[in-house]
Amino acid sequence: MDYGLRFSDPAKYERALRRAHELVISGVTRPEIPTPLAESWRRSMALGISPDQHSPRHLHDPADVLQLRREHPLQQVMPALQDLLADDSSSGRHLLVLTDASGEILWRVGSREALRRADRLEFSEGADWSEAGIGTNAISEALVTGGPVQLFSAEHLVRTHHDWACTAAPITDPATGRLLGVLDVSGPLDTISADTLRMVRCAVRVAESLLVTSDGGASSGAESSVRASRRGVARPAAVSSLELLGDKPAAVLTDGSRVPLTLRRAEILALLDSRSQGWSAEELAYELHGDGGTPQAVRTEMFRVRSMLGDAVDSNPYRLAVGLAGCSDSGRVLQLLRKGLVAEALAAYSAPLLSRSGVLSVQLLRDQLDLAVGAAVRASEVEGLLVRWLTTDMGAGDAEAVDVLGGLVGRGDARYLAFRASSAPGR
């Protein structure tokens, strides 16, 4: 059986697995079902799980799970996992699930449609997805093997799970090696890709690194603070503003320090700054990368941004936190224009928006800012403002501003003639 078919031809791979499933259940060995997987099926059936079973065992009511979450050490890493892997947008198709060490589901995140699909299987908070709870699945296999697992269609024991592809990996306490829970990503068969397993493993590493930083939640707050200070680990200071004009973007913190931003992160923040209602991962992926963009790549980058800038960025959707909205230098230019303070806006407009960015959406924002400032300066009909605007990189080619200046100072004025020459076509 060609394992790669699950990505290249999932329908063909599914058909072969379903045929093999029926044979193995009846006692016939098939190469499509590896021996360890077949053994898991036998263990599950010996525990009373039927391939026709629908409902898993439920250990707690959903209301009781809320308290279990608050007491669980993975509570502190769930936001990061959600940033990296979840998709609860209206078009989201996969589900992010986090269990405890026994396989009981404590968290799940997904779109309404993904949650509805999961509800039909009772793949919900409080349900037991160990072998004893519902038979062989990716979560149970991660618990049994202690490593990452990917199950596709009829590799699951229970037939109602054959429309699903699931990828899971255990999360352990870095200090003790104790199993804390299992991270799982599940969805329809066509949602799986060659990168899914890699992303789940990467997310587990991120979670475990955060547990190291916070001492795994095992010690008291005071003890954690002492140990964190000894390691030099500290929560980043709050962001007070963003510098997006020019070619050296940075975040300015409340303590006065500047955190340099890579061009990609600055582009993301510029887009967030431009839209108060926020962006989905899919929208950002398209704006930044075109048709080749993936939401997963954006979630990974957004996790890094949020790790660096603390609470400056909200998720679901991604947008600047309330206190930071409009606090960029480019946003300040627009605010001054809206107040009619043209001279102040022109003084604040020190350089083009992210002058090194070639992303089309950022270029459009840059052009819009140029147009807004230029239109305000021209409408002011103030000689000094026009001259100042025309001497900037942003206004140097503004032929309309040159014409307005000529009407004010005369067509024979040396300044008008110089600006006219520099703004002439082909110059």
- Contact between residue 84 and residue 303 where contact means Cβ atoms under 8 Å apart: yes
- CA 241-247-248 angle, 5° bins: 50
Structure tokens at 251: 């975040």
Phi, psi for residue 60 in degrees, rounded to 5: -145, 155
SS3 at position 102? coil
Calculate the average pLDDT of the chain. Answer: 87
The answer to the question of residue 222 being in a domain is no
342 and 367 both lie in a single domain = no
Quote the tokens at residue 231: 């390691």
Residue 345 lies in domain: 235-351
Q: Do residue 58 and residue 111 come from a single domain?
A: yes
Q: Which CATH number fits the domain that encloses residue 278?
A: 1.10.10.10
229 in any annotated domain: no
Last residue of a domain, which of 351, 366, 389? 351
Nearest-angstrom CA–CA distance, 184 and 199: 11
Q: Are 336 and 113 in contact (CB under 8 A)?
A: no
- Per 3-state DSSP, the chain is made up of helix, strand and coil in percentages (nearest 5) of 55, 15, 35
347 and 381 belong to one structural domain: no
Residues 347, 207 share a domain = no
Q: Which CATH number does the domain housing residue 164 bear?
A: 3.30.450.40
Percent of the chain with pLDDT over 90: 59
Pairing of strands 258-260, 313-314: unpaired
Residue 382: pLDDT band (50, 70, 90) is very high
113 within domain boundaries: yes
Instruction: Give the pLDDT band (50/70/90) at residue 17.
Output: very high
Within a domain: residue 44? yes
**185, part of any domain:** yes
CA 181 to CA 73: how far, in whole Å? 10
Q: Which residue matches tokens 């209301």?
A: 63
- Residue 404 DSSP symbol: H
Check whether residue 27 and residue 79 sit in a common domain.
yes
Mark whether 90 and 128 lie in a shared domain.
yes
Q: What's the domain count of the chain? A: 3
Nearest-angstrom CA–CA distance, 396 and 422: 8
Q: Please say whether the beta carbons of 118 and 98 come within 8 A.
A: no
Residues 203, 298, single domain; the answer is no
pLDDT class for 104, splitting at 50, 70, 90? very high
Question: What digits encode the pLDDT tens for the residues 275-308?
Answer: 888 888 889 988 998 888 888 778 878 887 887 8
CA distances from 193 to 103, 107, 140, 188, 258 (A): 24, 23, 21, 11, 39
Higher pLDDT, 63 or 93: 93
**Of 307, 282, 317, 313, the residue nearest 297 (C-alpha):** 282
Measured distance CA(266)–CA(272) in Å, rounded: 10
pLDDT band at 211 (very low <50, low <70, confident <90, very high): confident
Residue 91: which of 59, 121, 67, 113 has the closest Cα? 113
Confidence check: pLDDT of 222 > 80: no
Cα(first)–Cα(last) distance of the chain, in Å?
65
Tokens 């050296």 belong to residue? 248
Domain-embedded: residue 223: no
Same domain, 156 and 255: no
- The answer to whether 86 touches 183, Cβ cutoff 8 Å, is no
**Lowest mean pLDDT across 35-49, 197-211, 348-362, 375-389:** 197-211
Boundary residue ending a domain (217, 244, 270): 217
How confident is residue 221, by pLDDT bands cut at 50, 70 and 90?
very low
**Cβ neighbours of residue 97 closer than 8 Å, sequence gap 6 or more:** 105, 107, 108, 123, 139, 183, 184, 185, 186
Among 188, 217, 246, give the residue marking a domain's end. 217
The answer to the question of residue 105 being in a domain is: yes
Structure-token match 């089309």, residue found:
360
- Whether 40 and 144 share a structural domain: yes
Q: Kindly report the pTM of this predicted structure.
A: 0.56
Helix axes 329-338, 360-380, angle to 10 degrees: 40
Average pLDDT in the 189-205 region?
87
Three-state SS for 241? Answer: strand
Residues 275, 360 share a domain: no
Question: Per residue in 229-267, pLDDT tens?
Answer: 334 434 445 889 999 999 999 999 888 888 899 999 999
Instruction: Give tens-digit pLDDT for 385-412.
Output: 999 999 999 999 889 999 999 999 898 8
Q: Is residue 205 assigned to a domain?
A: yes
Distance of CA 427 to CAs 397, 402, 424, Å?
9, 14, 6
Contact status, residue 377 vs residue 395, Cβ threshold 8 Å: yes
What's the maximum distance between 2 C-alpha atoms anywhere in the chain?
Answer: 99
24 shares a domain with 172: yes
Q: Are residues 97 and 188 in the same domain?
A: yes
